[in-house]
Chains A and B, each alone.
Chain A
Amino acid sequence: MSTATAEHHDHDDHHGPAKGWTRWLYTTNHKDIGTLYLLFSLVMFFIGGGMALIIRAELFQPGLQMVDPLFFNSMTTMHALVMIFGVVMPAFVGLANWMIPMMIGGPDMALPRLNNWSFWIMPFAFLLLLSTLFMEGGGPAGGWTLYAPLSLQGGDNLAFVIFAIHFMGISSVMGSINIVATIFNMRAPGMTLMKMPLFVWTWLITAYLLIAVIPVLAGAVTMLLTDRYFGTSFFSAAGGGDPVMFQHIFWFFGHPEVYILILPAFGIISSIIPTFARKPLFGYASMVYATASIAFLSFIVWAHHMFTVGMPLAGEMFFMFATMMISVPTGVKVFNWIATMWRGSMTFETPMLFAIGFLVMFTIGGLSGLMLAITPADIQYHDTYFVVAHFHYVLVPGAIYSIMAATYYWMPKWTGNMYDEKWGKIHFWVSTVFLNVLFFPMHFVGLAGMPRRIPDYSMQFADWNAVATIGAFGFGFSQLIFVYVVLKCMKGGEKATTEVWEGADGLEWTVPSPAPYHTFETPPPIR
């Protein structure tokens, strides 16, 4: 026994990745799994983006030019499900896999086999989901919110969608458990909680949000399943059920979910801005507290998605005030980032450009969120393109930009090569111009009265919709630049130094570039 261990010990310590494609199937290495998640997310980004372009192509002009309204509805439904569950969430998990062990000075994730499993469930979940598009009757067409009773109509795609959601949920919960276990058990000695980088903090809180609300979603969709196939009437008024209850349960998941989609972004931005401002984050502790208060508040604001369902006055008041409160900690974050930039010594490499893009446009989305919180006004805004503009401003230049910023920021560490700075900057500027051409006009048509989720509209909305569609195609195709830059960087390029960035601070910048297959097998000393 002891000889065997001794023999293997040497080998274990220094082995690199296994050879061949099975490396990716069997891997339990946090870096490999991180890469898998990120590539998966990139592929899904183009699938979800293709759906968005179908939507925008139909909306280019009034009149129905190409698709049946039912197919249009399944495009809006699938686009949202793919972008939320297939792009933003896996990308954040991928970044967590890569960075959290390196940031806290741990050798790997705490539960490596679970990690492998969490990833490998995902492709099957999405095969199930996407396969519905090829079924008789097409994919789910009741909106990503799956409101009963509408979602109960239609073909058997519902069962597939629900099982896909269950699989994604299992994957997310396992991933979250892993992240929590890693953060609590794998930190290098001396890495106290209040020394952890904010990305680790925000992910810790996100992981708890996920563990808390994914089961709620699972419950809601399971009730849909039994209503549809086993004769229950949870959501059918005719059987004594309550369709509004579905919405309450859904949004009890749904609102924390939108913060799941943004808290890790806050962490990323909090890493990048200090690096390129060459100045420490202004208020580390208050950033942690703000994140925690956002997470807490996110559980008590859900019905702001339901101001028109007919709640008691007291309920509407409560949810209005609570929702307004959420802008306070959100504001604290924005102010802290700006104070970090203030009197720094800034340079504007691509990650910083994306971080500043995030800061500006996320703030726009946050401000329109504040407008939506005003209940009487929300009654006019609700279910219009104004809401579509709001959540795209927080999600695209918010969540997606943070993921791109993170990719540019850490890619030299992952690959050992610098990415192409010129094309990175071009990617940023082209994306940013088109993105605003795409989403800003949605505020206008929404205020002017255009409902969301419609395949055809009145003449008065024609101009701005045409503009938005031009922006959509421009934005969509400019993402090919991103793919080009990423592939080029994976292939080669100028060698990256250990520190990569002049102002970089943190343990990940103390290991060589590319980061060796195993890092921090002996814990690093913590200052």
Chain B
Amino acid sequence: MLFVLRWLGVVSAALAGQNAFAALGDVNMTVGVTPISQEVYGLHMLIFWICCVIGALVFAVMFYSIFKHRKSKGAKAADFHESTMVEIVWTAVPLIILVAMAIPAARTLIAMEDTSNADVTVKVTGYQWKWHYEYLDSGVSFFSSLDAEHAAARQVGSGVDVSQFEHYLKEVDNPLVLPVGKKVRFLHTASDVIHSWWVPDLAVKKDAIPGFINENWALIEQEGVYRGKCAELCGRDHGFMPIVVNAVSEEEFDAWIAERAPVETMADAGAQTVAATTEDDDADREWALEELMARGEPVYAAACAACHQANGQGVPGAFPAIAGSAVVTGPVDAHIKTVYVGVAGSAMGSFANQLNDVDMAAVLTYQRNAFGNTVGDTIQPAAIKALR
């Protein structure tokens, strides 16, 4: 319905002589906010117009012929064919156009690959299905996943009208903050399958490949919020791991880093959390079952539910159920190992770097005592800490 209304708007705009495309939203590549993105946009428009001209010429000749040289108009067939001269011309002319096109393209490509002399370096790691950012200069690091409201709205049969979200599926809990006017170098890698970190306004798209580190860079010239998506099919929730870059002034950026850095240096390697992080993180004390259960529930929702489902039933054949699982209701060690180390050759990766000691203990305890599982024991944060 909405769609019909919008289209009526488009048609009336066109009739009123306004720019109909403006009403249709984006139909072209973004110019972006980095020198490279502007160059890329220029190349795109150049090759686009070249193609338009070639297409127009070819189609003009063809349609002229179609209208003139038809039998119904009494056209008699000529009998010419084979001409080496003509063949050479229409091989050579496109070749010259291509060489002319290749030169600026090569120049931009060389600039894109030059990652030297960066001011800030961010390591970007793709996970199924979220991003992890680590500022290598200051050690600040965190996970960034789809905003919880969007995540709820996008479930099949959620009943939520998604048009209420201005940036549907392009909003995250923790955006990446970057300074403007600085050369930022990105290091891309992944922990499970291949992802691709893409922000159109930065003209940055690079595959994040497990076991490999790719490089890329951007110099953002304008403050603002820039949104992107994972561009490489990475499994079930590939469409739901957005990227939000918050480009701020250098001072704001420094302040933002300063605010975070001390907290992170206190923590052990990889001791961040995907759930709320301001809580009690004392891994050494004894935790009660109720405490761990309460803490485990949101962690489960954030870290496990994407595959094992909110109701713990999994997806038959693809992701095993937690409810009634032999591992979950079995010996503690095997359960911990499954989550801490992961299961080789499956979508179950290691969560050692994604959950701190308390969150991991909590979620393990939660799994053992939820969805109808009634093991009744607890797994203490100290047990996880001992593994690190």
**A336-350: which residues lie under 8 A (CB-CB) from chain B?**
338-348
The size bracket of the interface on B is: 35 or more
Name B129's closest neighbour in chain A (CB-CB): A69
The answer to whether B347 touches A343, judged by C-beta atoms less than 8 angstroms apart, is no
The answer to whether A283 touches B87, judged by C-beta atoms less than 8 angstroms apart, is yes
Name the distance in Å between B39's Cβ and chain A's nearest Cβ.
7
Binding stretch for chain A, among B137-145, B149-157, B297-305, B368-376: B149-157
Which chain B residues border A286 with CB–CB below 8 Å? 87
Complex CA–CA separation, A324 to B83 (angstroms): 25
The answer to whether A346 touches B69, judged by C-beta atoms less than 8 angstroms apart, is yes
Complex CA–CA separation, A367 to B344 (angstroms): 44
Which chain A residues border B316 with CB–CB below 8 Å? 136-137
Name B44's closest neighbour in chain A (CB-CB): A377
Name B161's closest neighbour in chain A (CB-CB): A63
B59, B75, B87, B239: the one contacting A343 at CB < 8 Å is B75
Give me the interface of A with B, judged by CB distance under 8 Å. Answer: 61-70, 73, 135-138, 141-143, 147, 149-150, 152-156, 228, 236-238, 242-244, 277-286, 308-310, 313, 316-317, 320-321, 324-325, 327-328, 331-332, 334-335, 338-348, 356, 359-360, 363-364, 367-368, 370-371, 374-377, 379-380, 382-384, 444, 447-449, 451-460, 462-464, 466, 503
Which chain B residues border A278 with CB–CB below 8 Å? 71, 77
Q: Does B331 contact A (CB under 8 A)?
A: no
0 or 1 for each of B199-217: is its CB under 8 Å from A? (1 = yes): 0100101110111101100
Name the distance in Å between A513's Cβ and chain B's nearest Cβ.
22
Which chain A residues border B209 with CB–CB below 8 Å? 237, 243-244, 309-310
A308, A341, A448: the one contacting B26 at CB < 8 Å is A448
A70, A281, A341: the one contacting B236 at CB < 8 Å is A70
- Quick one: given A338-B65, A343-B78, are A63 and B231 in contact (CB under 8 Å)? no
The answer to whether A328 touches B91, judged by C-beta atoms less than 8 angstroms apart, is yes
The answer to whether A345 touches B233, judged by C-beta atoms less than 8 angstroms apart, is no
The answer to whether B62 touches A359, judged by C-beta atoms less than 8 angstroms apart, is yes
The answer to whether B81 touches A375, judged by C-beta atoms less than 8 angstroms apart, is no
- Quick one: given A63-B154, A149-B192, A153-B235, are A313 and B113 in contact (CB under 8 Å)? yes
- Quick one: given A331-B94, A448-B28, A459-B165, are A347 and B205 in contact (CB under 8 Å)? no
- Quick one: given A63-B154, A64-B154, are A457 and B82 in contact (CB under 8 Å)? no
Which chain B residues border A68 with CB–CB below 8 Å? 156, 236, 315
Complex CA–CA separation, A332 to B82 (angstroms): 13
Other contacts beyond A243-B209, A451-B239: 18, CB < 8 A: A68-B315, A69-B240, A135-B317, A281-B81, A283-B82, A285-B82, A309-B207, A325-B98, A332-B91, A340-B81, A343-B78, A370-B47, A374-B43, A376-B203, A444-B24, A448-B28, A454-B239, A462-B163
0 or 1 for each of B267-293: is its CB under 8 Å from A? (1 = yes): 000000000000000000000000000
**B238-266: which residues lie under 8 A (CB-CB) from chain A?**
238-240
Which chain A residues border B3 with CB–CB below 8 Å? 61, 462-463, 466
Name B106's closest neighbour in chain A (CB-CB): A317
Q: Can you show 25 pairs from A to B with CB atoms below 8 A apart?
A: A62-B162, A66-B156, A70-B236, A73-B233, A137-B316, A153-B346, A155-B317, A243-B209, A313-B110, A324-B101, A331-B94, A338-B58, A345-B77, A360-B59, A380-B203, A444-B24, A447-B26, A449-B30, A449-B200, A456-B169, A456-B240, A457-B169, A458-B170, A459-B167, A463-B25
Which chain A residues border B147 with CB–CB below 8 Å? none
- Quick one: given A342-B61, A367-B54, A379-B40, are A327 and B94 in contact (CB under 8 Å)? yes
